[in-house]
Amino acid sequence: MVPPRPSGWEADDLDHLTQAPRHTELIDGALIFVMSPQRSRHRRLVENLTFALRAKVPVGFEVEREMTVRLDRKSRPEADVLVTTAPYAPDRTWYAPDEVAVVVEVVSEESADRDRSLKPFKYAQAGIPHHWRVEDEAGAPAVHVYELDSMTGRYVATGIHRNRLKLTVPFPIDVDLSGLVP
């Protein structure tokens, strides 16, 4: 695939790449193709977490899975799950950072480095206030919760949640994590 301009790929190009694989991301102008098949465990965890959050988030928030966030002109990563303040729009393909309250990455073997370092760095730069990273700990999910420090512009860890995700920010939520993985 050849970029449409000498300066490379841009965020809006993703909506017109019909020949690209389904989970294509753009990071700093580079297309990232997730070529390996998604494992059933990862897929179910993302799906079950999406449904659990939809049932628990307060009015005024929507939960989406596998949607991109247009961080800037050259970056549009795909989050596993995100919580947005934007109203549901069926034809939407991306969200702006100021519409995202929480971005969630479920770490898989194929995306571990991006999920643990590159994406959190980019999300923090864009000003997304909350980031949750879900790790597999002996077959059970552990949710690492981060909040953006406005003074440093970086995420700071606020807790690791096993069995139960109980938070007061960015909204009150209580999710039983033990039932998310079959």
CB count in 10 Å sphere of residue 154: 13
How does pLDDT run across 101-124, given as a tens digit for each residue? 999 999 998 889 999 999 999 999
Domain parsing of the chain, residue ranges: 39-179
How many CA atoms lie within 13 Å of 123's alpha carbon, on the beta-carbon side?
33
Taking domain 39-179, whether its CATH number is 1.10.1270.20 is answered by no
DSSP 55: H
Split at pLDDT 50, 70, 90, the class of 36 is low
53's tokens:
């959050």
179's tokens:
């039932």
Mean pLDDT value across residues 59-71: 97
Q: How many helices (H) and strands (E) does the chain have?
A: 3, 11
Helix residue ranges per DSSP H, 14-153: 40-56, 112-113, 119-126
Q: Considering only CA atoms, which of 114, 123, 119, 131 is closest in space to residue 167?
A: 131
Tallying the residues shown for the chain, one arrives at 182
The reported pTM is 0.92
Q: Which residues of 20-30 are buried (b: 16+ CB within 10 A; e: fewer)?
A: eeeebbbbeee
β-pair type (94-95, 62-69): parallel
**28-32 CB contacts, 8 Å cutoff, 24+ apart:** 28/74, 28/75, 29/74, 29/75, 31/1, 32/77, 32/114
% of the chain at pLDDT higher than 90: 79
